[in-house]
């Protein structure tokens, strides 16, 4: 069973603040992903990584950045939060040879 963790689970923050959403997995998975999901809408890929020091932007335009300094850790940073960033952010990981992605519990972000 994959273990993937996200903190915080819920966050309410004011406009203009810098925030970092944490994601960690203990499975040693090479591939990691960040998705954004609004209610009733599809998951949109915003960033991905297929290994340490490798990161790419996904489909959804975003003012966020990510880093992958360690295999198990894939944090997402918003330099200046805006109300349009209000959403649920889901982190996922995947073993290099497998097809299944394991998702974390998500961070529900509200920017006021």
Decide: helix, strand or coil at residue 83: helix
Smaller CB distance to another protein: residue 43 or 52? 43
* By CB under 8 A, residue 103 contacts another protein: yes
* By CB under 8 A, residue 41 contacts another protein: yes
Stretch that binds another protein, among 13-21, 44-52, 65-73, 75-83 (CB under 8 A): 44-52
The total of other beta-carbon atoms located within 10 Å of residue 4's CB is 22
Which residues 6+ apart lie within 8 Å of 97 measured at CB? none
* By CB under 8 A, residue 105 contacts another protein: yes
Q: At closest approach, how far in Å is the CB of 11 from another protein? A: 15
Which residues 6+ apart lie within 8 Å of 39 measured at CB? none
Q: Which of 11, 13, 27, 45 binds another protein (CB under 8 A)?
A: 45
Cβ atoms of 109 and 36 within 8 Å: the answer is: no
**Distance between CA atoms of 105 and 5, rounded to whole angstroms?**
7
Residues near another protein (CB under 8 A) are: 31, 33, 35, 40-43, 45, 48, 50, 56, 58, 90, 94, 98-106
């Amino acid at each position: 069973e994959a273990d993937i963790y996200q903190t915080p689970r819920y966050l309410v923050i004011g406009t203009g603040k810098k925030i970092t959403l944490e994601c960690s997995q203990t499975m040693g998975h090479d591939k990691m992903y960040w998705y954004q999901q609004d209610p009733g809408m599809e998951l949109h890929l915003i960033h991905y990584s297929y290994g340490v020091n490798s990161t790419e932007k996904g489909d959804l335009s975003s003012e966020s950045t990510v880093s992958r300094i360690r295999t198990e850790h894939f944090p997402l940073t918003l330099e200046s939060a805006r109300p349009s960033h209000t959403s649920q952010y889901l982190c996922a990981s995947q073993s290099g040879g497998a097809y299944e992605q394991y998702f974390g519990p998500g961070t529900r972000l509200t920017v006021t």
